[in-house]
Amino acid sequence: MRPRYMKVIRDLTSDYSKNLMLVLAIAIGVFGIGSILGGYAVLSREMNANYMSTAPASATIEIDGDISSTLLDSVRTFPGIKKAERRSTIVGRMKVHERWHPILFFVIDDFEKMEISRFRHISGTKIPTEGTMLVERTALMVMGASEGDAITVRTPHGSQQTLKIGGVVHDPALAPAWQEQAGYGYITMATLKALGENSRFDLLRIQVSENEYARQHITQKAEEVADWLKQRGIEIHEIQVPSPGKHPHQSQMEAVLSIFTVFSFMILLLGSILVATSMATLMVKQVRQIGIMKTIGGSSYQISTMYFFMMLVVCVVAILVSIPLSRLAAFGFYTQIAKLLNLEITDSSIPLRVPFIQIASGILIPMIAAAIPLIRGSRVSVRAALDNYGVSTQKVNRWSTFLSRTSLFTDTYRLSLRNVFRQRSRLVLTLGLLAAGGAMFMTALNVSDAWETNLKRIYTQRLYDQEIRLNERLLPDSVFSVIEAIDGVTKVEGWDFASSSIIKDSKYEITKTYPDKGHGSFSIQALPVPTQLLNPTVVEGQWLKTAGSNEVVLNQLARTSEMTIGDDVLLAIDGKPTRWKIIGFTEDVGSPATAYVSITTFAKIAGSSGKVGMLRIAYSDRSRNNSQNKSREIDDVLEDNNIRVSASIPVWLLHNAVAAHMEVLVNSLLAMALLMAIVGTLGLTSTISMNVLERTREIGVMRAIGATPGTIKSLIVWEGITIGVLSIMIAFVVSIAFSYFMGVFIGNISFRTPLTLTISPIAIAIWVVLITVGSYFASVFPARRTNKVTTREALAYE
Amino acid sequence: MIHQQHKPLIELRNVSKAYPVASGTFMALNDVSLTIESRKLVAITGKSGSGKSTLLNIITGIDRPSTGSVTISGVKVDKLSETELASWRGKNVGVVFQFFQLLPTLTILENVMLPMDFCNTYSKKERRDKALALLEKVNIKEQAGKFPSALSGGQQQRVAIARALANDPPLLVADEPTGNLDSHTATSIFELFAELAKSGKTVIVVTHEREFSAYFEDTISIADGMVNAQISVHA
Ligand SMILES: Nc1ncnc2c1ncn2[C@@H]1O[C@H](COP(=O)(O)OP(=O)(O)O)[C@@H](O)[C@H]1O
Ligand SMILES: [Mg+2]
C-alpha cells in the first residue's frame, strides 16, 4: 500500500476508541435508514401482494333483497364486468369467557369457486359444513379458541347456538381481529339460515375488466350495474368503492414510514456532522504533519484525498457493520408490522436499492458534511502549518469579554464559561448537534405522549361506557327503568343510528367502505338533544341545540373541504336522500365518519317515532373491570326482557382497538428516540473530549502557573455541563415546534385531527439526566487524562 | 577560477520580507541579494532573530518574498503557485528541520518512501529499494521497520535527511538540524552533509554553532535581515 494510505490506516487504528465512536456515529444512521427502508420496501410490496392475492372487489353493491343466481349470471355477462359474486355479511355476537363480543359472519356463496375477496386456506377443512365455520387466523385469539372448538354465537334474529371451528384461513384484506376486537367467521348460506337469519345474499361484489385502479371508472360501472338492477325492481342500498388496489391501511402505513425515513436520515446527518467535526479537529491536531507533508512534496489535493480517504474508511466500516444489522432490524420491523396488519410475508427479500441507498448515503452525506473543513484544512500553507505564531492570536469574542467581566459566578466557573464561548464555531456545532438530538428525542416521546393523551379523549368525549345496538327499535320506557336500577349505572339514553353517506351528484349512496364494514364507513348518530352522554370537541359552529330541527353536526371524518357552516347537506337514510343544515363541526377521537342529528327528527324520517335503536349507558366506575361486569348484568336484563342485541361495544374496547392500531408507530418512535439518544451522547462525549484534548497545552500552562489538578478538573467538568445544559434548553424549544408539526401530521393520518401538543416531562427528565451525566463523564475522563500528563509534557504537546 | 566550475544554483535579487507588527512593519529581510553555487556546503549564520529561517524559507518557497526575485536552477520560485511549488519542492529541494519532523504513524522506511509517493518518482517497485539505499547511506537501515518514537534524536535526524534525499533533489536545506543534538551526534550529521556536498548536492545549513565552521565552503552571515558577509573558503 502507498505510504500515504498507510498513514491514514495507522492514524485510524492508533486511536481506536475514538475512531470506533466515529464509525458508530455513522453506523447508527446507516442502520436506521436500512432498517426503515428495508422494512418499508418489504411491507409495501407484501401488503400489495397480500391484498391483491385476495382479488379484492372493485365495488360492492348493497341491495335490499336477495341476489338470485340467475341475476348473478346476468351481471357476469355485463359489459365491462370481469367477475361478479354474491355475498352477505352479518354482524352477530359470540360468547368468549362468558362475555359477548361482536363477530362478523361472511356468508360465502360457493367456497369452492371464490373469485373475489378470496382468502387463503391454512388448516382444517376448506369448505365448512352446516354448523361449522372457517375462522380468520387472527380471530382465534379474540375468540379464545382453536380449530375444532365450538363457539357460542348469536345472530340478530336467531337464538343462541354453537358453531364449530372447522378450519382456519388467512384473509389479508381484513385488519387483524384483535385490532377490531371482533371475531371473523366464514359460513355457508345454510349455516346462516340455521342461525336464524333470512337466507339472502344482499351484497354484489364486482370486478371491472378495465381501468381497475380508476375510482371514477369503477363508480361509473357500478352505477350502470345498479341501474340495471333497479330496472329489475331491486332496490339499491349503497355502493361501496374502497380505494382501488389499496389495502385499508396502506396510506397510513406509508405516511408513518415516511416520517421514520426522514427521522433516520436526520440521524445520519447528525452523525455525519459529528464525524466531520472530529475530522476537522484531527486536521487541526495534525497541522504540523500536514506542513511536513507539504514540505516534502504533498500537494493540497493529495493531502485532502488522504483525509477524505480516512472518512471513506470510517464510512465503509460503518456501512459494513450496519448493513447486516439493519437487515436483521428490518426483519424484526416488518414481521412486527406484518403481524399487526395481518400480512403474510411470502417474499422477504429486501430490494437491492436499500443497501444501495445505505451505501450511497452513508458515504455521500458524511463526505459532503466534511468537504469544507477537509478542503480548507488541507489548503493550509506550509508556513502557517509550521508556524507557532497562531497559538496566541486566538480571538477573544464579545461573549467571553462580557462573561469575564461579570461577577455573577465564581472565578473557576467564569473561566469555564469563557472557555465555552471561546471557540464560537465549535460551540455552535456541538450545541447544534446536541440540540438536534435532544429535540428529536423529546419530539419522539412528546408525540407518543400526545398520542396517549388523545386516546384518553375517547373517555372525555364519550361520557357513556357502553353502547348497545338493538336488533329492532323499541319504545324505551320499560327497559330504561330496569337498567337504570342496576347498581352503578348512572345514566341511560336512547339513541339511534344508521349507516349513511353524503349524497352528491350520484343517484346512489356511494361510500368508501371496505368489506370489513369498519374502515371508511359513514354513519348517522341520532341522539336526544341535549345529550348528557357525549361531550364533543366542537371546533367550529355549535353543537346540536334544538330537538326536532334539521340541524346536523359533522365530525372531521365526515367533513369535506367544501363544507361550511350554514350549508345544506344531503344524507342518505335507508337509501333515500334527506336534507340537513350544517351547524357545527367536531373533532372526534376514534369514531368513523359520523353525522350527529336529533333523534326526534331522525325518527320521523325513519318512521320510528318514540323508539330507539341504540342504548348508551354510563357507569359510575369507568374501569374496564367494572365495565365488563356491568355489561354482563345489562345483558342479563336485556335477555330477561327479550330484547335482542346486534352489538354491544364498551368504550374501553374502542380505546384499546384504537391504541392497537398505532402501537407500532409509538414503539417505532421510541426506537428512534433511543437511536437519537445514542448519537447525541456520542456527539457530546466526543466533542467535549476533543475540546479538552485540544487544550492540553493550555492546561499545561495553567498547571505551570499553579492551578491544581482539582481546579482544572472542575473547570473542564463545568464547561461540559454548561454546554450540556445550554443544549437542553435549545432542544426543548425546538422540540416544541417539532412536536407540534409531527402531532398535526400523525393526528391527521390517524384521526384526521391534529394531536394536542403535549410535553412529556419524562422525556425532559431522561434527556437532562443523560446529558448532564454524559457531560460529566465526557469531561471527567479527559480531564483526568490531562491531569496525568506532566506540565512539561503538556507544554510540549502539539 | 574555481568559482567558474560551479554554476550559480540559487540567485536572490533584492529580496525583502516584511511582517506586519503592532508598530508598523518589521523587515525580517532587507534587500538581500546573493548567489549560491551548486555542489557546495553552505552555512547561514547569525544571531537568533536575525532572519536566517526567513531566508531559508524564501529559498525553499515556504515563504514568499515581499519584494525581489528568487531563481533556483532557472526556476522563478516566487512566481510558482502553491500547487506548483509543492511538486517543485518535492522534486528539487530536500528540507530538514530542527525538530524531528517524521510522521509518527509511519515506519522509518515509509517515512522515506512518502516523498516518492507524493511526487510519483520512480516506479512503485523501485521505491522500496531506493529508500533502503538511502537509509543505508545515513547508516540507519537496520531500523527501517521501526516507528520514529523508537529512535534516538540523532537517528531520527538521519532519517529526516534520508527522507529529504528521497527524490534525489539537487538542493538540501536544513534549519538548525543539530540544535537539539549533543555535539558528538551533531558532528556525525555535519560529516554526512559534507559527504553529500562532495557527492554533488548543494547543502545549505542554518547554524550558529561555530565549532562546525570547518565543514563549510561558503558562509553567509546575516544580521538584522541584511547579509553581512559571504565568505568563501576554497579548499
Ligand atoms: N510571521 C511573523 N510575524 C512577525 N514577525 C515574524 C514572523 N516570522 C518571523 N518574524 C520575525 O522576523 C525575525 C526573523 O525571524 P527568523 O527568520 O525566524 O529568525 P532566526 O531564524 O534567525 O532566528 C524575527 O525577529 C521574528 O520575530
Ligand atoms: Mg530560525
Instruction: Give the mean pLDDT of A736-757.
Output: 80
H-type helices in A598-708, by residue range?
Answer: 599-606, 624-640, 651-694, 696-704
Contact (CB<8Å) B113/A3: yes
pLDDT digits (tens, 9 = 90+) for A436-477: 888 888 888 888 888 888 888 888 899 999 988 888 888 887
What pLDDT is attached to residue B12? 93
- Centre of ligand 2 to C-alpha A285, Å, is 23
Give yes or no for residue A529 having a pLDDT over 90: no
How far is Cα A258 from Cα A692, in angstroms, rounded to an integer? 40
pLDDT digits (tens, 9 = 90+) for A545-557: 988 899 999 998 8
Contact (CB<8Å) A298/B86: yes
Tell whether A392 is within 8 A of chain B (Cβ).
no
Residue A122 has φ and ψ, to the nearest 5°, of -110, -55
CB atoms within 10 A of CB B153: 14
Helix (H) or strand (E) run with residue A383 in it: helix A382-386
Chain B, residues 143-202, CB within 8 A of chain A, namely 163-164, 166-167
pLDDT digits (tens, 9 = 90+) for A165-178: 999 999 988 878 87
> In order of start, what are the domains of chain B with their CATH numbers?
38-63+81-232 (3.40.50.300)
Determine the distance in angstroms separating the CA of B234 from the nearest CA of chain A, rounded to an integer.
32
Give yes or no for residue A156 having a pLDDT over 70: yes
**Residue A141 CA neighbour count, 13 Å, CB half:** 10
Q: Which ligand 1 atom is nearest residue B225's CA?
A: 14
Q: Which ligand 1 atom is nearest residue B17's CA?
A: 12
Which range scores top for mean pLDDT: A92-106, A595-609, A625-639? A595-609
Going by DSSP bridges, is the β-strand pair A235-240/A81-96 parallel, antiparallel, or unpaired?
unpaired
- Residues β-bridged to residue A580: A569
Identify the residue whose cell numbers are 349524497: A503
Local structure of residue A216 (DSSP, 8 states): H
What pLDDT is attached to residue A392? 35
- Centre of ligand 1 to C-alpha A697, Å, is 23
What angle (nearest 5°) sits at the alpha carbon of residue A681, between those of residues A679 and A686? 95
Find, among A604, A601, A587, the residue nearest to A543 by Cα.
Answer: A587
CB contact set of A403 (below 8 Å; sequence gap of 6+) = A414, A417, A418, A421
CB atoms within 10 A of CB A560: 11
- Residues β-bridged to residue A135: A168, A185
What angle (nearest 5°) sits at the alpha carbon of residue A751, between those of residues A745 and A756? 60
The answer to whether residues B204 and B171 touch, using CB atoms and an 8 Å cutoff, is: yes
Three cell numbers written together for A679: 448519537
Residues of chain B with pLDDT under 70: 1-7, 100, 233-235
Give yes or no for residue A400 having a pLDDT over 70: no
Which range scores top for mean pLDDT: A52-56, A473-477, A671-675? A52-56
Question: Cα(first)–Cα(last) distance of chain A, in Å?
Answer: 28
What pLDDT is attached to residue B98? 81
What pLDDT is attached to residue A445? 86
- Centre of ligand 2 to C-alpha B46, Å, is 10
How far is Cα A448 from Cα A460, in angstroms, rounded to an integer? 19
Contact (CB<8Å) B90/A298: yes
What pLDDT is attached to residue A108? 94
What pLDDT is attached to residue A391? 36
What pLDDT is attached to residue A177? 82
% pLDDT > 90, chain B: 55
Q: Which of B87, B103, B167 sits opposite A292 (nearest CB)?
A: B103
Chain B, residues 104-133, CB within 8 A of chain A, namely 104-106, 110-111, 113-115, 117-119
- Centre of ligand 1 to C-alpha B63, Å, is 12
Give yes or no for residue A122 having a pLDDT over 50: yes
- Measuring from each residue's beta carbon to the nearest atom of ligand 1, which residues come in under 6 Å? A 389; B 19, 21, 26, 28, 46, 48-54
Our CA dihedral for A722, A724, A726, A727, rounded to 10 degrees, sits at 160
Instruction: Give the mean pLDDT of A273-292.
Output: 84
Give yes or no for residue A516 having a pLDDT over 70: no
pTM: 0.78
How far is Cα A453 from Cα A432, in angstroms, rounded to an integer? 30
3-state DSSP assignment of residue A609: coil
Contact (CB<8Å) B105/A386: no
How far is Cα A759 from Cα A739, in angstroms, rounded to an integer? 8
Tell whether A535 is within 8 A of chain B (Cβ).
no
Residue A235's pLDDT band (cuts 50, 70, 90): confident
Three cell numbers written together for B9: 544554483
- Centre of ligand 1 to C-alpha A242, Å, is 83
What pLDDT is attached to residue A278? 81
The answer to whether residues A591 and A555 touch, using CB atoms and an 8 Å cutoff, is: yes
Helix (H) or strand (E) run with residue B28 in it: strand B24-37
How far is Cα A570 from Cα A577, in angstroms, rounded to an integer? 6
Better pLDDT: A739 or B98: A739
Helix (H) or strand (E) run with residue A22 in it: helix A16-53
- Where do the domains of chain A lie? 1-53+268-383, 59-240, 389-462+654-798, 466-621
Tell whether A300 is within 8 A of chain B (Cβ).
yes
The answer to whether residues A98 and A131 touch, using CB atoms and an 8 Å cutoff, is: no
Q: Provide DSSP, B149-214.
A: GGS-HHHHHHHHHHHHTTT--SEEEEESTTTTS-HHHHHHHHHHHHHHHHTT-EEEEE---GGGGG
**Mean pLDDT, chain B, as a whole number?**
88
**Mean pLDDT, chain A, as a whole number?**
84
What pLDDT is attached to residue A413? 64
What pLDDT is attached to residue A714? 80
The answer to whether residues A307 and A280 touch, using CB atoms and an 8 Å cutoff, is: no
- Which residues of chain B does A292 touch, with a Cβ-Cβ cutoff of 8 Å? 97, 101, 103
What pLDDT is attached to residue A406? 55
Instruction: Give the mean pLDDT of A212-226.
Output: 91
Give yes or no for residue A408 having a pLDDT over 70: no
Residues by chain with Cβ below 5 Å of ion ligand 2: B 53
The answer to whether residues A280 and A430 touch, using CB atoms and an 8 Å cutoff, is: no
Three cell numbers written together for A620: 359510575
